Amino acid sequence: MDFTARMVMLRSLPFFGGLPEERLSRLARGAQVAEHAPGSLIAARDQAADAFHLVAAGQVKIYRMGPDGREQTLYVLGQGEPFCLCSLVDTGEYPAYAAALTQTRVLTFPAASLAEAARQDPEVLFDLLRLMCRRLKDAMAMIEMLALRDLPSRVAGFLLHEANRPPVRDKVRLSISQRELAKIVGATPEALSRALRRLEQAGLITARGRDVDILDRDGLAREAGLGPDGE
């Protein structure tokens, strides 16, 4: 990806699009571009947090590893989404792992470059705070879901979350495999399959691979322990 392509991408992203051309140019020049094969590690917990990253193409999962080696997926990020943003305010180690889910292109920026942009343009700080607040809310919701609900309820909550992404719809095309979905909801692939069958038998959904049709949104919300609007 040459300099012009990096500039076009940065301009297209709400996170960077409001910056003046001079600062965008500085960011683009300082960025490194890397291709990552599916499953390859991009950032690890024991690495120094001296850079942040942006998904240029593909998908990246952010996850933690338990003492027994099991993964807990925290986020799945797509094109245009930044990650490892803690490097802007904390020079310690990354708090989680990041790995490519698909063939993925990542832009990597020195943390100091965005910190400089934030000092010169406070609006960048507000964008950063909004993003971090959203991810904190997502993390808190996941903790509640994993700790307080049984597996079918967790799966129902995840499906509603996906269905409520704009535009709201009753057909969900999962962007990840069921194996990766199992890591998000804290289950084995076999247990996830049983939970999906239970939701189907209850007449709430039909599932075919990555395609899920929501047949009874209110019933799915009740199963998830949510209100009719999914909240």
Are 23 and 117 contacting, i.e. CB atoms less than 8 angstroms apart? yes
The token pair that represents 123 in the structure block: 């609006």
Distance CA 199, CA 107 (A): 40
100: amino acid identity, one letter: A
220, 228 Cβ separation under 8 angstroms:
no
- Long-range pairs, 154-158, Cβ under 8 A, ≥24: 154/185, 154/186, 154/187, 154/195, 154/224, 155/181, 155/185, 155/192, 155/195, 155/196, 155/199, 156/199, 156/204, 156/220, 156/221, 156/223, 156/224, 157/224, 157/225, 157/226, 158/184, 158/185
- Averaged over successive runs of 10 residues, the pLDDT of the chain (231 residues) comes to 82 71 80 91 83 89 85 85 74 82 90 73 70 74 71 90 80 87 89 94 92 93 73 52
| Residue whose C-alpha is closest to residue 57's, from 14, 110, 106, 112 | 106
Comparing CA positions, the residue from 187, 176, 183, 166 lying closest to residue 209 is: 176
**In 121-167, alpha helices (H):** 122-148, 151-163
Q: What is the pLDDT of residue 25?
A: 83
Dist. CA 205–CA 170, nearest whole Å: 9
pLDDT at position 87 is: 65
CA distances from 78 to 19, 55, 74, 92, 95 (A): 22, 6, 14, 26, 20
